[in-house]
Amino acid sequence: MTLLESIRTPEDVKKLEPERIETLTGEIREFLLSAVSRTGGHLGPNLGVVELTVALHRVFESPREPVLFDTGHQSYVHKILTGRRDFSALRRQGGMSGYPSRAESEHDFIENSHASTVLSYADGLAKAQDLRGETGSCVAAVIGDGALTGGMAWEALNNIAEGRNRRVVIVVNDNGRSYSPTMGGLADHLASLRMTQGYEHALDLAKTALNHAPVVGQPLYEALHGVKKGLKDAIQPQMMFEDLGLKYVGPIDGHDEQTVERALRRARDYGGPVIVHCLTQKGKGYAPAENHTVDQFHGPGPFDVETGEQQAKPGLKWTKVFGEEMVKLGAERSDLVAITAAMMHPTGLAPFAEAYPERTYDVGIAEQHATTSATGLAMGGLHPVVALYSTFLNRCFDQILMDTALHRQGVTFCLDRSGVTGDDGPSHNGMWDLSVLNVVPGLRMAVPRDATRMRQLLREAVAVEDAPTVLRYPKTAVPEDIPTLEKVGDMDVLRRSPDEGNSQDLLLVAVGWMAEVCCDVADRMADHGIGVTVVDPRWVKPVPEELVAEAAGHRVAAVVEDNGKVGAVGDAVARSLRDAEMDIPVRTFGVPQEFPEHGKREYLLAEMELTAQDIARKLTETVSRYAERELESDESMRNY
């Protein structure tokens, strides 16, 4: 039995003699490389927190004393130390989540995988401990330097500092990166702290000042001034935290477990809020993960441990199409600028940043600020493109509504990873944007079905200067182009059954990349003699007038979308038909209004009955039912 195999609970970690810790951390790294190389997952962040996580579980009494992780993608080591070593189905249906999960363990308090939230959870938990009289308990919260760029983290720090006697230990896991190098003034501040090795460094500077003071002829106060200056230069950077009322410890080597453990014990016993600043290296112990400058090993797919080579994912990616078209647009329009929230490479903006660095802004993990800053850029005569993951758009809804849309500013939001994404679990599915944005006055939304439409719609979106525009696209490979049968205004007709003098049975509205499924549905239904018209509105908000007019010649309308069903395109189409006083039933097919578990997208769509076979079966039944009702009604009229 290896040492790691003997660890089933945090108590087992606490019992280890200090000299055995290095063996344990080595085995953990070997385990992570072996497991994640087979399944894919977040490797770099977890290799960087091995010693830190071991120290946390040797000091704190989890679960009585919550150990919380911001974002949560660095929680694999925590899972291992709390009895979860089955990584065989990591992030797959029926397997272990890639983030903390309350359903998995009592040691997981929060399921967040959105950054900058953990300090607010810690503040609330510490207040609850205080009110319950649990004076001996503490809350430990790990937050990265990247997550500290988010405004919510600083709102929480402001409140934590108020509770002078509340025992909150904030561990800043400082590796200088989130997905890519941390940007902004805070990054510069932490960098200055990294360069400052605490009081030892201060004393070295003071000693240097004294050694350079002449023995004869120089007043003593000048030498003392040198000492004072040396101490001030060395210690001053930490004052930002201490001015808030937070005790600061560090910076310390986050890969020296015993040093981290001693610092955490002092912080836990302090009796008030403390920041422990740990310097770590993302990907520690695995050269390919340490050396990659663009973080291919932040969340790799399966890879070869020996070479670091990752398995190539087949097919053209939507992100790549977006990135290429942005570079072309940048060459054509000097007013086009790009904004990202700490995700330059994942959102595909890196080529634009390389071509036009002076027109690219990485604002850190701060989607709210990104939105309002983009609005200011638009007010200044530029056209900003804000590239985000769809799930992170949730955070800046208020700014889109009250800052961008209210002022009728031309800002384009490009939402990567829209729809059902799968592996990263409930917090990462981009299934909300069509619903929440439908209520924003004046905002226009487009959904491309293929690469050609992606390029067209991006160009159309950035041409709008008097309203916010939104373009959403998924994580999957781009399907083959689906040609347009005919144009009706801005709407594309993709399929139309032969007209034999009778009205068509079904108008099938395909939202974006669901067009491939809808065309399959139409072919299946045609085999049963059912007439189907498939349309792709391209712009889904507002609902095109042409779509409403097209519906007039059909018995039933249906909408298929990769979004939560409530308040999305299906509801908008139904409302438009009601407003036009058209008595046409509308069926909507979309994501159930729940939090889908992690798993492969194909599996989840099948579970939701969003396959062509399921949809065709249900719509065949629907059309048949309404056709029978019409026959019954006609028969009643004849008898009458």
d(CA 223, CA 209): 7
Catalytic, out of 51, 65, 261, 367: 367
Rounded to the nearest 5°, which phi and psi values hold at 422? 95, -85
DSSP 310: B
Q: Token pair for residue 486? A: 């005919």
The Cβ of residue 347 has, within 10 Å, a number of other Cβ atoms equal to 27
526 annotated as ligand-binding: no
Q: Token pair for residue 104? A: 């998995």
Catalytic, out of 79, 84, 92, 395: 395
The Cβ of residue 340 has, within 10 Å, a number of other Cβ atoms equal to 29
Strand pairing report for 491-496 and 532-536: antiparallel
Angle at 421 between CA 437 and CA 576, to 5 degrees: 30
145 annotated as ligand-binding: yes
395 is catalytic: yes
120 annotated as ligand-binding: no
175 annotated as ligand-binding: yes
For 217, residues 6+ apart whose C-beta sits below 8 A from its C-beta are none
Beta carbons of 350 and 344 less than 8 angstroms apart: yes
For 255, residues 6+ apart whose C-beta sits below 8 A from its C-beta are 50, 51, 280, 281, 284
DSSP 512-552: GGGHHHHHHHHHHHHTTT--EEEEE-SEEESPPHHHHHHHT
d(CA 61, CA 608): 41
Catalytic, out of 167, 282, 453, 475: 282
Alpha helices in 220-317, H assignment, sequence order: 220-235, 239-243, 257-270, 287-291
225 annotated as ligand-binding: no
DSSP 302: S
For 497, residues 6+ apart whose C-beta sits below 8 A from its C-beta are 504, 505, 522, 526, 530, 531, 532, 533
367 is catalytic: yes
Q: Is the link from the previous residue into 441 a cis peptide, with omega within 30 of 0?
A: no
234 annotated as ligand-binding: no
DSSP 177-232: BSSSB--SHHHHHHHHHHT--HHHHHHHHHHHHHHTS-SSSS-HHHHHHHHHHHHH
Q: What are the C-alpha distances in Å from 429 to residues 237, 324, 423, 424, 511? A: 39, 25, 9, 8, 17
* 139-144, strands of its sheet edge to edge: 67-69, 139-144, 168-174, 274-279, 247-253
309 is catalytic: no
331 annotated as ligand-binding: no
Single-letter code of the amino acid located at 594: E
423's torsion region: left (phi>0), alpha (psi -120 to 50) or beta?
alpha
Q: What are the C-alpha distances in Å from 75 to residues 58, 411, 497, 505, 535? A: 16, 36, 53, 52, 45
147 annotated as ligand-binding: yes
E strand segments, 9-122: 67-69
Q: Is the link from the previous residue into 181 a cis peptide, with omega within 30 of 0?
A: no
Q: Token pair for residue 205? A: 């500077």
Give the residue from 154, 186, 181, 187 showing the smallest Cα distance to 170: 154
**Three-state SS letters, 409-452:** CCCEEEEECCECCCCCCCCCCECCHHHHHCCCCCCEEECCCCHH
Distance of CA 300 to the CA centre of its chain: 15
Q: Token pair for residue 624? A: 């048949």
Q: Token pair for residue 114? A: 């959105």
Single-letter code of the amino acid located at 97: S
473 annotated as ligand-binding: no
633 annotated as ligand-binding: no
Instruction: Please enumerate, by residue number, every residue annotated as part of a binding site for Mg(2+).
Output: 145, 175
Instruction: Please enumerate, by residue number, every residue annotated as part of a binding site for thiamine diphosphate.
Output: 73, 113-115, 146-147, 175, 286, 367
Instruction: Please enumerate, by residue number, every residue annotated as part of a binding site.
Output: 73, 113-115, 145-147, 175, 286, 367
The catalytic residues are: 282, 367, 395
